[in-house]
Amino acid sequence: MIYLDNAATSFPKPEGVALAMNRFMTSVGANPGRSGHRLSLEAARAIFDAREKVADLFGAGGPLRVIFCLNATEALNLAIRGLLRPGDHVIASSMEHNSVMRPLRRLEAEGVELSIARCSSEGILDPSDVRKLVRGNTAMIVITHASNVTGSILPVAEIGRLARENGILSLVDAAQTGGCYPIDIETDCIDLLAFSGHKGLFGPQGTGGLVAGARVDTNSLAPLKTGGTGSRSEYETQPDFLPDKYESGTPNTVGIAGLGAGLEFVLGEGIGRIREHEKALTKRLLSGLADIPAITVYGERNPERQTATVSFNIRGIDSSEAAMRLDEEYEIMCRPGLHCSPAAHRTIGAFPGGTIRFSMSYMNSREEIDCAVHAVADIAGGAGGAGK
């Protein structure tokens, strides 16, 4: 069995993740920071440790600026809905996932102005096209760090600098890059970083978060939900400090304990090493696919400028039929279709048919990629020349 659906969620996870979750469920189990007893304290420590590791990995200004959420989608909703008001203008790229587009479209209906910076058909964003869209009331620029369809890496640092020059906040969707590509919110000029816990960070599903940079004024960032936090219990109003203002209700402590172990793995291996391995896999896959006739590969097809995600089509075969055959005949798990990103598929010219997406992780081997290339070649009926 070959799992190539890591852009949806990574699998397998490092061994420590399930062990940490099992340890939490069998020997800690308490509600973090609510009660004052030793198990409550230990649960709070599990969350704090994960918070520190996230801050380390992304260069956040301390663990208290890390807000845990259910997933990157919730983090993006918090940043977008929490900061934008009717009359504000927001710019997004044409490669965004629906986790960005749907909150933006909803706000647009409520009076927020929205402009889309067009990317090329290879998924490349020219920062000058963003600059042209800036207005007096532009409050935020939202861009994905890397497309979940083509893997294309967008120029977040240039966009971030452009945002700073104009007094605009930059929000980056790092769902596809967190844990696989270097991110430093200071050098990349990122004000708000939404991350997924269950992809490159190898945590379980139900984890993710938002890093709030120093320029984010929490007085103007409204929480998505309010409720119990274990702090300021004598007041019926929401606390106004980080991270409690945005973390109401009992958190996914067991999940965050697992995320802590995933982060430990990532920090231990090092982003450099992870990136090199993923680049090598991407290069192998791209060159293997290039040798198969009847295959269209989308994006720049340059391992240096993309994540380990590759989208392609086999001429004459529907993407979902090809994915089903890959699963049933070759035990290869991938994802066909539109990948929750109709905008990106329109940009690359693959709407509404979609693409077959192979998304790899640090856990994949070169041999698995070779097998996958052979399977695609078989299905395309163009076997020969495939694989290296």
Partner 1 sequence: MSSGIECGVVLFESTSAALKAEKEAVKTGLKVKLIPVPRALNSGCGFCLRFDWQDIEKIRGLLISRELKFEGIHKLKWPPN
User: Least distance in Å: CB of 45 to partner 1?
Assistant: 6
Other C-beta atoms closer than 10 Å to the C-beta of 346 total 15
Nearest to 69 by CA among 256, 311, 238, 202: 256
Give the Cα separation of 63 and 42 in Å (integer).
Answer: 17
Nearer to partner 1, 32 or 151 (CB): 32
Nearer to partner 1, 33 or 354 (CB): 33
Q: Which of 79, 93, 204 is nearest to 148 (CA)?
A: 93
What's the closest the beta carbon of residue 46 comes to partner 1, in angstroms? Answer: 10
CA distances (Å), origin 173, targets 48, 245, 315: 23, 21, 32
Closest approach of Cβ 223 to partner 1, in Å? 14
Instruction: Output the smallest distance, CB 241 to partner 1, in A.
Output: 6
Q: Which helix (H) or strand (E) element contains residue 116?
A: strand 113-117
Q: Give residue 160's identity as a one-letter amino acid code.
A: G
Residue 11 or 241: the one with the smaller Cβ distance to partner 1 is 241
| Cα 295 from Cα 313, distance rounded (Å) | 6
Which residue, 46 or 326, is less far from partner 1 as judged by CB?
46
Closest to 65 measured CA to CA, from 229, 196, 247: 247
* CA 206 – CA 262 distance, rounded (Å): 14
Write the CA distances from 367 to 199, 202, 322, 364, 387, integer angstroms. 22, 22, 21, 8, 10
Residue 36 or 352 with smaller CB distance to partner 1: 36
Minimum CB separation of residue 75 from partner 1 in Å reads 17
Q: How far is the CB of 25 from partner 1 (least distance, A)?
A: 21
Tell the smallest beta-carbon distance from residue 133 to partner 1 (Å): 38
Nearer to partner 1, 51 or 97 (CB): 51
Start-to-end C-alpha separation, the chain? 20
DSSP state of 359: E
The Cα-based distances of 159 to 60, 70, 142, 225, 360 in angstroms read: 19, 27, 9, 30, 27
**Least distance CB 60 / partner 1 (angstroms):** 13
Nearest distance, CB of residue 179 and partner 1, angstroms: 23
Among residues 51 and 275, whose Cβ is nearest to partner 1?
51
How far is residue 223 CA from its own chain's centroid? 21
**Quick check: helix, strand or coil at residue 103?**
helix
Smaller CB distance to partner 1: residue 117 or 257?
257
Whose CA is closest to 316, among 228, 381, 383, 229?
381
DSSP bridge pairs for 162: none
Which positions lie near partner 1, rule CB under 8 A? 32-37, 40-41, 44-45, 47-48, 51-52, 62-64, 229-232, 234, 239, 241, 243-244
Give exposure, 102-129, as e/b (b: 16+ Cβ within 10 Å).
bbbeebeeeebbbebbebeebbbbebeb
| Number of other CB atoms surrounding residue 210 within 10 Å | 26
Residue 218 corresponds to which amino acid? Answer: T
Q: Which is nearer to partner 1, 228 or 293 (CB)?
A: 228
Work out how close the CB of 159 gets to partner 1 at its nearest, in angstroms, rounded to a whole number: 30
Closer Cβ to partner 1, 3 or 68, answer by number: 68
Structure tokens, 325: 């055959």
